[in-house]
Structure 1
Amino acid sequence: MSPRKPSTKDLTKEMIINEAHKQFITKDFHQVSMRSIAKELGCSHGAIYYHFKNKAEIFYAILGDYFSELNNILDENMNGPEDHSTKLMNVFVGYMAFGLNHQSQYELMFIMRDSEIDGLSQEAANLSYEKFAQSVQSLSNTELSISDIHSSFIALHGFVAHYRHYVKNYEEAKEAVDVHAKFLIKALTYRE
């Protein structure tokens, strides 16, 4: 006897997002379809359209959760009891740790490009970057230029992009993460 298919009423957004998330991690964006998600959930693809108007909307819901998690890491580090220098170190380490601990998600957030979803994902990425930039500026002992902050972000991104797939998680690169974060802080505090 085969398991009962969830009806439109039984099917939840969370179920759809969880299944879509699994597929987006293992397949290219274009290989995932409403039908493939429905097939794995054992429901009709029409039942999924009841909750989401298209695949891009599902993808954006998934990305929103990732960006929220990254933004929470920034908030936690900004609100800690440490001095500004330690908080800045924690912001840099937290960013790299997130990227290395969530490599598939990081790729979806910052590396994967597709015209169907770029507008949506870029909006979330820009808001997250704004939060990052404000955090770095507020923790700096000197007034930083926009290019200084952007360069530090690109350096963090480059670090994560370089180490992804070479390490399983942050713990395997902890020493290199700390060295890189210290280097960035030194570069931001050095003034001609």
Structure 2
Amino acid sequence: MSPRKPTTQELTKEMIIHEAHKQFIAKDFHHVSMRSIAKELGCSHGAIYYHFKNKAEIFYAILGEYFSELNTTLENTVNGPEDSSTKLKNILVGYMAFGLNNQSQYELMFMVRDNEIDGLSQEAANLSYEKFAQSVQALSETELLLSDIHSTFIALHGFVAHYRHYVKNYEEAKEAVDVHARFLIKALIKVEL
């Protein structure tokens, strides 16, 4: 006897997000459909449309959780008890650690490109970047150029992109993360040429 399919009232957004998340990580965004999500949940794809208007909306809900986690990491670091220079280093290390500890999620947040989702994901990424830039500026002893903050962010992103799939997590790249963070701090506090 096959398991009973959940009705629309039993099917929750959380169930849909959980299943969609698994599929987005296992397959490319383009290879996941409302029907494939419904099939794994044992319900009709119409039941999913009761909760989400399309696949992009589900994807955005998942991204929202990831960006919230990253933003919370930034906030906790800025509000921590350490001095400003230690907090600045911790922000850089925290960003790289987040990316390396959550490689599949990081890819979804920053590396998946699709016309259907770019507007939504770009908005969340921009808000997260603004929080990063404000945090770095607030912890700097001097006024930083926006281009320097942006270059630092790109350097962090490049580090995570380079190490993803080569290490399992932050612990495996901890020494390289520390060296990269120190290098970036030196670049940020350099004397203007």
Q: TM-score, normalised by structure 2?
A: 0.99
Q: Which runs of 4+ in 1 moved over 3 A?
A: none
| Residue pairs, 1:14-25, within 5 angstroms | 14-25=14-25
Counterpart of 1:111 in structure 2: which amino acid? M
Deviation string, structure 1 residues 98-155 (Cα, Å, up to 9, x no partner): 0000000100100110011000000000000000000000000111000000000000
Show the counterpart of 2:147. Answer: 147
* Match runs of 1:75-86 below 5 Å: 75-86=75-86
Q: Tell me how far apart the structure 2 counterparts of residues 134 and 30 of structure 1 sit (CA, whole Å).
A: 34
> 1 CA distance for matches of 2:140 and 2:191?
12
SS in structure 2 of the partner of residue 62 of structure 1:
helix
Q: Measure, in 1, the Cα distance between the counterparts of 2:113 and 2:8.
A: 32
Task: Measure how far apart 1:2 and its partner are.
Answer: 1.0
SS at match of 1:36: helix
Secondary structure at 2:50 match in 1: helix
1:29-68 CA distance string (max 9 Å, x none): 1100000000000000000000000000000000000000
For 1:112 and 1:61, the matched residues in 2 are separated by 15
SS of the equivalent of 1:51 reads coil
Root-mean-square deviation (Å): 0.5
Q: Which residue of 2 aligns with 1:177?
A: 177
Rounded Cα–Cα distance in structure 2 between residues aligned with 1:101 and 1:58:
23
CA distance in 2, matches of 1:165, 1:131: 27
Alignment of 1:120-139 (within 5 A): 120-139=120-139
**Which residue in 2 is equivalent to 1:57?**
57
Looking at structure 1, the residues matched to 177 and 42 of structure 2 have their Cα atoms a distance apart, in angstroms, of 43
For the residues of structure 2 that align with 1:146 and 1:50, how far apart are their CA atoms? 43
Structure 2 residue identity aligned to 1:76: N
Question: How much does 1:190 deviate?
Answer: 1.1
> How much has 1:14 moved relative to structure 2?
0.0
Map of 1:8 onto structure 2: 8
* Aligned counterpart, 2:107: 107
> Percent of pairs identical after alignment?
84
Residue in 2 that maps onto 1:32: 32
Structure 2 counterpart of 1:154, one-letter code: I
**TM-score, normalised with respect to structure 1:** 0.99
**One-letter amino acid of the counterpart of residue 118, structure 2:** D
Structure 2 distance, partners of 1:136, 1:111, is 23
Letter matched to residue 183 of structure 2: F
Q: Gapped runs of 5+ residues in structure 2?
A: none
Residue type at the aligned position of 2:99: G
What amino acid is aligned across from residue 128 of structure 1 in structure 2? S
- Unmatched 5+ residue regions in structure 1? none
The amino acid of 2:63's aligned partner reads L
User: How many residue pairs get matched?
Assistant: 192
